[in-house]
Amino acid sequence: MLIAYTRAVSPTLADCELTHLERLPLDVARAAVEHDAYEALLEMLGTTVRRLPPAPDLPDAVFVEDTAIVLDEIAVITRPGAASRRLETLSVASVLAAHRPLAHIASPATLDGGDVLVAGRTIFAGLSSRTTRDAVDQLARAVQPFGYDVVPVEFQGCLHLKSAVTRVADNLLLLNPAWVDAAAFPGYRALPVDPAEPHAANALMLGGSVVHPSHFPRTRARMEAEGLRVAAVAMTELAKAEAGVTCCSLLVRIG
C-alpha cells in the first residue's frame, strides 16, 4: 500500500515564501482546484491519498514534502529553512510516527525535503539557502545505520535541488544543466529539460508514469521520446508559489 499524504491549500497561499520568483497575483481558488486534480491523479496512479490536518494560517503548508524525508526504515523530520514554515512539521511528525521511527534535524541546522533526492541507497542532498551542510551531516548520521549514503550536491538558480533535477526512470534523471551539473550523479543518464522551460525538471515517478506539470509541453515531449508515460497535471497557480509536483505530497509505503 502506498499512502500519499497531502494538505489542503491554505487560504493564505498568496503570502507564501518566495526566493527565486517574482511575486505575481495568485488565484488561491484556482490553486485549490489544481491541487484537487493532483490528488485525483495520485489516486488514479495507485496511491491512497490521506490529507493532513488543514493549516489555514501557514501559507506554505500545502508543500508537505519539505517537512520530512520518508524512507522504508525511518522518517527524518526536517527543520525548514524558512522560519515561517517550522510549525508545519508538528502534525507531519504526529502522523508519520504511526508508520516509522522518527529522527529530527536539530537546531540551528535547517533542511527542506525539496533538497533531498532519494535514488536507491544513495541520497543526494542539495546545499541551498534552505538546507545547511550541518543538516546534511545530521541526515547522513540518521540514515547511515540503514545502509544509505548521503551525497551533498551544489546547485544554483532555483529554490530546491528537486527544482533542478528529479529521477524519471531507474537510471534516468530529468535536469536543468544550467542549475546542476549532471556529473554530480554518477551512474545516471541525464535528460536535459527544454531550454525554453527551465523550471521543468521537477517530476514525480509514480505507478509506471511520470507526473509532470502540463505547462511544460516541450520537456514532456522529450520524456515521451524516451518512451516514458507522462501524466500531465495543471500547476500554473501553484507554480507561482515556487511549487512543483513532488512538493505537494509525502509518499509512505506500508507493508
Query: What is the rounded distance in angstroms from the CA atom of residue 78 to the CA atom of residue 63?
Result: 13
Say which amino acid occupies 117: L
- Tell me the CA end-to-end span of the chain in Å, nearest whole number: 7
- Which residue in 16, 158, 247, 248 is the catalytic one? 247
Under 8 Å between Cβ of 165 and 117: yes
Joined grid coordinates for residue 41: 491523479
Q: Are strands 122-127 and 116-119 parallel, antiparallel or unpaired?
A: antiparallel
- The answer to whether 247 is a known catalytic residue is yes
**Total residues belonging to the chain:** 255
| 17, 63, 230 from 49: Cα distances, Å | 26, 15, 20
H or E segment at 216?
A: none
- Which residue in 160, 199, 212, 248 is the catalytic one? 160
Under 8 Å between Cβ of 120 and 145: no
Collapsing DSSP states into helix, strand and coil, what is residue 110?
A: coil
Under 8 Å between Cβ of 236 and 187: no
Q: Are strands 48-51 and 2-6 parallel, antiparallel or unpaired?
A: parallel
Give residue for cell 546542476.
Answer: 180
Query: Which residues have a catalytic role annotated?
Result: 160, 247
